[in-house]
Every structure is written in C-alpha cells, then in structure tokens.
Structure 1
Amino acid sequence: MRLRKGRHGGVVGAHPPPLDGDWVDEHGRLSQAGRALIQIRRSEGRCPARIAAELGVHRSTVGRELARNTRLGRYHAAAAQVMTEQRRPRPRPSKLAVRADTGVDAGVDAGVDGGAGEVLRAAVLVRLNNRFSPVQVSQDLRRCYPGRDDMQVSHETIYQALYVQGKGSLREELKVEKALRSGRTSRRPRSALPPRSNRSWIGAEAHISHRPPEAADRAVPGHWEGDLVIGAGGRSALITLVERSTRYALIRRLPLTHDATTVAAALVTMMTNLPESLRRSLTWDQGSEMAAHTTFTLATGCPVYFADPHSPWQRGTNENTNGLVRDIHPKGTDFNHVSDADITETERLLNIRPRQTLNWDTPADRLQQLLNVAPTT
C-alpha cells in the first residue's frame, strides 16, 4: 500500500503507536480494559489491524477475539469477557487424587463416581504392589475392564500420583519398598544430566545409525545389547548381554576390574560359544569400558555400535534386563562377595521367565529353537 501525507501532517494509512493502558494481563491475554477498547474502536469503524496497534498486540489477537465473541453482528466487551472465562479450562483433579483437606476421593470432583474412584485407586495399588510398572497397570486395567471409563487411567496419571509428596500420595499406601523399579521419587530434569563428552575411539561407522536396519524390528536374531552393572564403590561389575529377538540374557562377573581390556576379553569368552549367525551386532552405550571394542570385533566378527549419549531407549531391552538384575542384586551389592554360581543362577532365573512379548514363551525356549536350526559355523 502506498502511503501519503495527510492534510494536517502525518501519514495516511500508518498505524498509531500503542496507547498506555493495561490492555493485556501478565500472560499476554486481553484484559477487560482491552476488550472495552476493542468495543469502542469497532463502534468507530476501526479495522482490527489498527485496533491491535493501539493495544500493542498482534492483529491476529484482535481478529480471533472478534471471531470468537461477536454475537448477532455486534461485539460487547462485558459479554466477551464472560464467554472467554467460561471457555477457559479449569484444572481437574486426578482420578487417583485424594483431597488433602478431607481425605475424600477427589474422583467426585472430577466427574467420576466416588465409589468407582476408590475402586480404581485400589486396583492400581494392587498392581503396583505386584511390581507392575505404571504402563503395565494402565494396560492391565484396560484389559480387565473393557468399556469402563471409570476404571481406566493413563500411565502418566499414575506416575504423577507416585511423584506427589504429602497426603494422598500413592507411595504412602504401597507395601513394596520401591514404587518404581528405578526407586526415583521425582523426575530428573534434562538440565541435571551430565554434559556430553567426546569419545575419540568411537568412529563414525560405529554410531547406532549405521547398525543394520534388520536389528530394529527384531525379526532377525543375533543382534545383542550390552552394558555393565556396577557394584558397590565401583570395585566390581557384571557384564550383561541380551539378545534383542529372544530376550535371552548372558551375565558374567568381573570381580577385580572392569577396564576396557578386561571387558573386551570377557565379551569374547561370552560370545564365542554362540554360532556365527547369532553374532550379528552388539549395541552399547558410550562408556569407556568399550574403548577396546575393535579387539572384540576382530576376535568374534561381531561389530559394535554405540547409542547416543543419554538415550537409554536405544538400548531398551538391556536397560530392562539390568532392572531385573537389580531386583536380585540391589544397588550397593559388592560383586566381589557374590559367587559365580549365584550369577549363573541369576542368569537362569531371567531366562526361564515367561515373557508376554514372546507370547509367554521363555527366552531359553526361544534361544534353543534358534540353536536347533542355526549353523554351527
């Protein structure tokens, strides 16, 4: 648009500077005074862009306000304020919350029958006491109570209820020692994560992005994930390996040291008993204990790939396995005082567990099926 000077100076078509006034609140939303100014200017025939310039807001703010709150072709500030407040969402208490002042189930306030809310809370507690994860609790309730919205709850709601401090916390009513396998009572913000470090011994070709695509869908066996479970004071460790397709676990004790040379030698011993067809890849985190990974690869023909820093989901099967190991050998265990026979028994217990993801087969059964058909070279 071409601008021209007006008869009394100024520029015709230019927007006026913002007026002084409390036109928006601390969140940048239009205030009642801002809506009153919109009503006045609209009655004067001003366009939304010029009104927005006076309010000091984007013109789309005024455009949306007029579109939402104009009735019968007219905009009234008082009516617009009422309609906006009615549309504003109100925080709803969680299905699992208990009102702190009375101890009454807050499901009543959430639009859920009080009795049903208590039943839901009890059902969640039973499953948590049976060491179900929040995701498993949510899915099991969906399976047991199909079509009943009052008996459904998301895993996020369960996590929030477990993290809540004070009266009404689910953790207060649990019988098990830990509400979550990690034992964590609050979420760790990303700012609390350690800074990323450079690992010069990890070549670009060893990044997880170069891992064969067949490893991702678990259809082809022979792709493993590994990690260390560190003992008390860092004086001992376990090597844990888990095959992605069968979930079969291998565990070996490192009682004296877990430096790169020792870890590579132990991995060679653990993997060489397997057929070559079951040694397709190994995925590890970026711990320095794998600095000698080329030695392992030369001895076994199994390439090693490294996950991104702070990305445990890229090795989720192994993270789950380590959690199961910690159920048997809690944090603070000194593996110098645990026998190799105990570790063998731990390995056996993990591999004879029926797994839902395996259609209730055991990892031992699945691996045996592969060994019965796999070539020996």
Structure 2
Amino acid sequence: MLMLSDREEISRGLAEGLQYKEIASRLGRDPSVISREVARHGGRAGYRAVAADRVACAARERPKVFAVERSPRLRAVVCRQLRCGWSPASIAGRLPIDYPDDQACRVSHEAIYQWVYAQPVSTLARELISLRTGRTARRGGRRPPPAPRIRQPRYIDERPAEVEDRAVPGHWEGDLVIGKNGRSAVATLVERTSRFLVLAPLTGRDSLTVGDAVIASTGGLPAEIRRSLTWDCGTEMARHADITATGLPVFFAHPHSPWERGTNENMNRIFREFFPKGVEITSDPNYLAMVASEINGRPRKIHNWKTPSEIFAELVEANASTG
C-alpha cells in the first residue's frame, strides 16, 4: 500500500521527467504499481500526491458507498431505465452515449446488480424497481447435481440411408415438450412417413422415466414400424441404450440442429395449439390420446388430403400382409 510519502516521491519523479522504472527503483516497488497509480489519479500531467492520497483513503473506507449512489443523477437514470425494463448491461452501455460529458454517470452492470440486490424488497416495490428476471437476490446454495451425460451417442450420420426419403416407414423422431415452469412435460413421437403422432405421458423428465415411456408407447408396434428413433441431445435420453435394446435403435441429431428433426419440430408447434407455452401439460394418458387423435385426424396436403391416421393404418396393414 502506497503512503503519502511514497506519492510525494512519485510526484517529484514525474516533475523531473523520470520514467516509471526509475521512480519504482527509488521506492523499491514494481514499475506496474507506479504506472497504475499515476494512471488512476490524473496521469503524468495531472498527478497530485495529496489529492491521490485522499482519494485512495476514501476508497479504502468501509462500508463503501454503492457506485449507483455516488451521484444523484446517476441513481435517477438507473432507476428510470430499470422501470422501463432495461437490463443493467443496457444501462451501463448507454450511459457514455447519453451523458458523454458527465463522468459521474458511469457505472458497470455488475455494480447495478449489486445495488439492486442490496436493496430491501419493500424499497424496490415502493420505487417500482425490478430486474427483468424478477429476481431480488442472487441465487445461492449448492448447485444441483449435473444431469447424466449421453454416453456413446450414435448421430444421424449413422442412420440408414432409407430414412431420408421417407419411402420406408417405421422411422420416428422424438422430443420433449415442456409445460409451465418446467414442472410437466410430454414426449412427442412422430413417424416420418405418415406424420402420425404418438404422445407419451410423463410423470418426470429424468432419463429413466422418459426411456420407460418411449418403450411403453412403441412396444406394441410391429417391428417393421419401429425401425429407428431420432432424438435431440437432451439428457433425458441418457438411457438410450435401454430403448435400443428393445429393437428400436436411437440416433441423435447434432447439437443445436433442430432442422435435423424438422418433422418433430413442426408437430410440436401443432401440439402447442392445445398446450401453449406457460400452461401445465397433463399426464392423463386418455386426454393426451384424445389430443393425438384430433391432430392425427387432420387431412394433410402432403398426403393428398388423407389423414396421418389413415396413412399410418395403411402402413401397418401393408407390413402385416407382407410379413
């Protein structure tokens, strides 16, 4: 820590035109200490020992004043923009543009977060101040255990070539659709040739629950109608080997590539007509079966206005007769 006597020596060295290395040698300090000290307090031309020492002493005082509170104008601006729904990063980034000549109107986004989190909830409510996330405190505590990672995934590059043109039935795409606050979900399975939808009710989103639900939903199908399943890289499919062991090999789309499961993504949008985002998704198998039946009963132009239910029934019957 630099004392007033050290700062006076720095001031004399600057007046003599010495380099930082030479001043540091006099004080027995590292040159970077001198460089930061001078830069922090006005540079070579504006450095004053007494003023620098006063500022340094004030900075060491505890408790420190929050950066947002150092200027009434800054506090007013921050409060106004928070009420308008701005993020702390947006506020901090915009200040130099809106107030280029007022150095007091400078604050980092982290300082704004610290100030908000330090305020009593009643004060925030009274002044109508809130973060866009709605949080009034940082999330603490231990992190939940990490979700199981997918081991030895087989990506769609390894799928049979017959999957691409949809001429051969029995290739499925699957995904989870999540309900309100992530507390409910359903597995959507779509057969690529017919666009036939199967909804697998879920009581949880863990890999064991999802795996068992997929097996139960597809287990009664003929082998010719359950040739493969393509899923995204969600950890709910960590037990994919269990599904593959039943005769339904699982392949994975590449990370962040939803277009590789386009049929399923389109079907999820249709499913959202019945369960919009923010709505809890039921796990009642009878109700979900009714929803799937209604979706599968809609005529499709791609099927020459036949329904997925009709096309799927034809595929099952055709495979049964050839078997």
What's the TM-score, normalizing by structure 2? Answer: 0.52
The corresponding residue for 1:367 is 312
- Whether the 8 Å contact between 1:238 and 1:251 is mirrored in structure 2 is yes
What is the Cα deviation at residue 229 of structure 1?
Answer: 0.5
Give the 5 Å matches for 1:103-142.
none
Amino acid at match of 1:375: A
Give the 5 Å matches for 1:47-196.
none
The corresponding residue for 2:296 is 351
The corresponding residue for 1:282 is 229
Secondary structure of 1:375's aligned partner: helix
Instruction: Return closer, same or farther for 1:202/1:314 CA change in 2, 3 Å cut-off.
Output: farther
The corresponding residue for 2:79 is none
Give the 5 Å matches for 1:285-304.
285-299=232-246, 301-304=247-250
Aligned counterpart for 2:177 among listed residues 214, 222, 229: 229
Secondary structure of 2:188's aligned partner: strand
Amino acid at match of 2:277: K
Hey, what's the Cα distance between the residues in 1 that align with 2:149 and 2:180? Answer: 29
Instruction: Return closer, same or farther for 1:275/1:233 CA change in 2, 3 Å cut-off.
Output: same
Aligned counterpart for 2:266 among listed residues 320, 325, 330: 320
Aligned counterpart for 2:210 among listed residues 255, 259, 263: 263
Secondary structure of 1:346's aligned partner: helix
The corresponding residue for 1:245 is 193
Hey, what's the Cα distance between the residues in 1 that align with 2:151 and 2:266? Answer: 25
- Structure richer in helix, relative to its length: 2
Instruction: Return closer, same or farther for 1:332/1:295 CA change in 2, 3 Å cut-off.
Output: same
What is the Cα deviation at residue 212 of structure 1?
Answer: 0.6
What's the TM-score, normalizing by structure 1? Answer: 0.45
Instruction: Give structure 1 regions of 4+ aligned residues with deviation exceeding 3 angstroms.
Output: none
What is the Cα deviation at residue 365 of structure 1?
Answer: 0.4
Secondary structure of 1:335's aligned partner: coil
* CA RMSD in angstroms, aligned pairs only: 2.1
Identity of aligned residues (%): 45
User: RCO (CA 8 Å, sep 6+): is it higher in 1 or 2?
Assistant: 2
The corresponding residue for 1:203 is 152
Instruction: Return closer, same or farther for 1:291/1:350 CA change in 2, 3 Å cut-off.
Output: same
The corresponding residue for 1:85 is none
Number of paired residues? 177
Hey, what's the Cα distance between the residues in 1 that align with 2:289 and 2:150? Answer: 32
CA deviation string 1:131-168 (max 9, x = no partner): xxxxxxxxxxxxxxxxxxxxxxxxxxxxxxxxxxxxxx
- Whether the 8 Å contact between 1:225 and 1:315 is mirrored in structure 2 is yes
Hey, what's the Cα distance between the residues in 1 that align with 2:299 and 2:235? Answer: 34
Hey, what's the Cα distance between the residues in 2 that align with 1:226 and 1:297? Answer: 14
5+ residue gaps, structure 1, are 1-197
Amino acid at match of 1:334: E
- Whether the 8 Å contact between 2:149 and 2:235 is mirrored in structure 1 is no
Amino acid at match of 1:348: S
Amino acid at match of 1:327: E
Secondary structure of 1:329's aligned partner: coil
5+ residue gaps, structure 2, are 1-146
